[in-house]
Amino acid sequence: MYELETYQALQAGDFELHYLPTVRLVDRRCVGAEALIRWKRDGDWVPPMEFIPNTERTPLAGLITYWVIDTVGVELKHWLQVHPGAHVSINIPPDVLGRGGIEYAMNKAGLRDARKQIVFEVTERGVPDAQGLLALDHMAKGGVRIALDDVHLAGANLALLSRCHFELLKIDQELVQALRPQAPAPAWLPGLRAILAATAVQVVAEGVENEHQHAALVEAGIVMAQGHLYCAALPAAQFIDYFAANGAAT
C-alpha cells in the first residue's frame, strides 16, 4: 500500500530519525540509543508498522537502511566520538545483508572508526540467507555488535542464536507486558535466566512501562532496557541533551 508513497517520501526528504534511549537497569543511566525512522505525512506521523513491513523484500529495504546509516553519521558521529562507551543501534533487514552495501554505507557515513559503537539489529521476521550469515560473522569479527531483535524465546529465535554471533538479545515488549503485579512470573522468565547463565549474551528488554516491570527485569539479571518508563524516542538534538543529563560515565 505504502511502497510507492514511501519511495516518494524518501526522495522528498520527508523522513527523520528519532533515537530511543537504552538505559542500564541498575542505575537507569543511558548507555546508547536505537535509531528509529519516522515519517510525517500531511502533518501527521505515519505509524512505522504501516509502512516498514511493506518495504521488506523490496529495493526500498536497502535504500532506507543506507539512508538511516548515513543520517546516523550526520547526526551522531561527533557524539559517538565524544562518548566512546556509548552505542547506536540500527535495524538491518536480513535480505540486505551480505550484498556489500552495509559496509559501503558505514564508510561513506564516516562511521568506520566508530564501528565498535554500532549495534546492528536483525529480526527473526526474515532469517538471513547463507550470504547474510557470513556477512554477520564478518561484521562481528570486525567489531560491530550484532543483536537479535523481537525475541520471543521460541525455538526459531534460539535456532538462529546458535547459528550467529549475537552479543545481544532484545526481548520483545509482548513478553515484558506479561510482567504484572500480583501475577505469577511468566513462563519465559526461568528460560531467560538459563540463557543468561549459560552464555555471555546480554539482554535488552523492550517496552518497559512501569516500576514493577523494571524491578522484575533487574531481578532476572537483565542488563539494559528501553521504554517510556525511562524516555520516549527523541530527535537527535534532544537525545544529545538527554544523554548529557542522564548518560552513563564513559
Tell me the domains of the chain and their CATH numbers: 3-244 (3.20.20.450)
Question: Is pLDDT above 60 for 1?
Answer: no
What per-residue confidence (pLDDT) applies to 141? 83
> Distance between CA atoms of 173 and 147, rounded to whole angstroms?
15
C-alpha distance from residue 90 to each of 93, 115, 190, 210 (Å) = 10, 12, 29, 26
What per-residue confidence (pLDDT) applies to 221? 86
**For strand 145-151 and strand 234-235, is the pairing parallel, antiparallel, or unpaired?**
unpaired
**Average pLDDT of the residues in 182-204:** 78
Q: Which three cell numbers stand for residue 223?
A: 542488563
- For residue 158, name the pLDDT band (cuts at 50, 70, 90): low
Mean pLDDT score of the chain, rounded to an integer? Answer: 87
What per-residue confidence (pLDDT) applies to 79? 97
- For residue 70, name the pLDDT band (cuts at 50, 70, 90): very high
Top-confidence residue, 55 or 230: 230
What per-residue confidence (pLDDT) applies to 178? 87
Instruction: Please count the other Cβ atoms lying within 10 Å of the Cβ belonging to residue 246.
Output: 14
Instruction: Please count the other Cβ atoms lying within 10 Å of the Cβ belonging to residue 20.
Output: 20
Question: Is pLDDT above 70 for 32?
Answer: yes
> Distance between CA atoms of 207 and 177, rounded to whole angstroms?
8
Top-confidence residue, 212 or 43: 212
- For residue 126, name the pLDDT band (cuts at 50, 70, 90): low
Q: Do the Cβ atoms of 226 and 208 come closer than 8 Å?
A: yes
**Average pLDDT of the residues in 203-232:** 94
Q: Which residues pair with 58 in a beta bridge?
A: none
**Average pLDDT of the residues in 121-150:** 79
> Distance between CA atoms of 107 and 152, rounded to whole angstroms?
33
Q: Which three cell numbers stand for residue 132?
A: 547474510
Give the DSSP per-residue string, 21-76.
EEEETTTTEEEEEEEEEEEEETTEEPPGGGTHHHHTTSHHHHHHHHHHHHHHHHHH
> Distance between CA atoms of 241 and 59, rounded to whole angstroms?
35
Q: Which residues pair with 171 in a beta bridge?
A: 151, 205
- The DSSP letter of residue 227 is B
**Average pLDDT of the residues in 149-178:** 76
Report the share of the chain in percent with pLDDT over 70: 92
Q: Do the Cβ atoms of 54 and 3 come closer than 8 Å?
A: yes
